[in-house]
Amino acid sequence: MAAKYKIGQRIIVTPGKAEALSTRDSDIAQYAGHKGRVMDLYSLNPPGRIAFYIYNVEIEPDKKGIVLYEDEMQPDLT
């Protein structure tokens, strides 16, 4: 499975639904709607499971770095 996003691509943070929030998700919710840029990505391949990607993203305007899953962001088409 190929990565959905590429290094340098601009994204918008879109956390999951509120009823399924974990401690980690609640930290990401504060960035909902913020734009950012993919700085790095990593493929994780757990034994017996489907491979997935996580992304280091630099959030604007304060340049804060956070880690997101593919389903927590969407492409910024603006």
| Distance in angstroms (rounded) separating the CA atoms of residues 31 and 12 | 9
Please calculate the CA angle 38-41-47 and round it to the nearest 5 degrees: 150
| Best CA proximity match to 40, nearest among 77, 2, 9 | 9
Whether 7 shows a pLDDT value over 70: the answer reads yes
With respect to residue 24, please indicate whether it lies within any of the assigned structural domains: yes
Domain count of the fold of the chain: 1
Question: How does residue 2 score in pLDDT terms, banded at 50, 70 and 90?
Answer: confident
Is 2 part of a structural domain of the chain? no
| Domain that includes residue 27, residue range | 10-75
Residue 1 lies in a domain: no
- The answer to whether residue 30 is domain-embedded is yes
According to the model, what pLDDT value does residue 24 have?
A: 52
Tens-digit pLDDT profile for residues 28-63: 888 999 999 999 999 999 899 888 999 999 999 889
d(CA 78, CA 65): 21
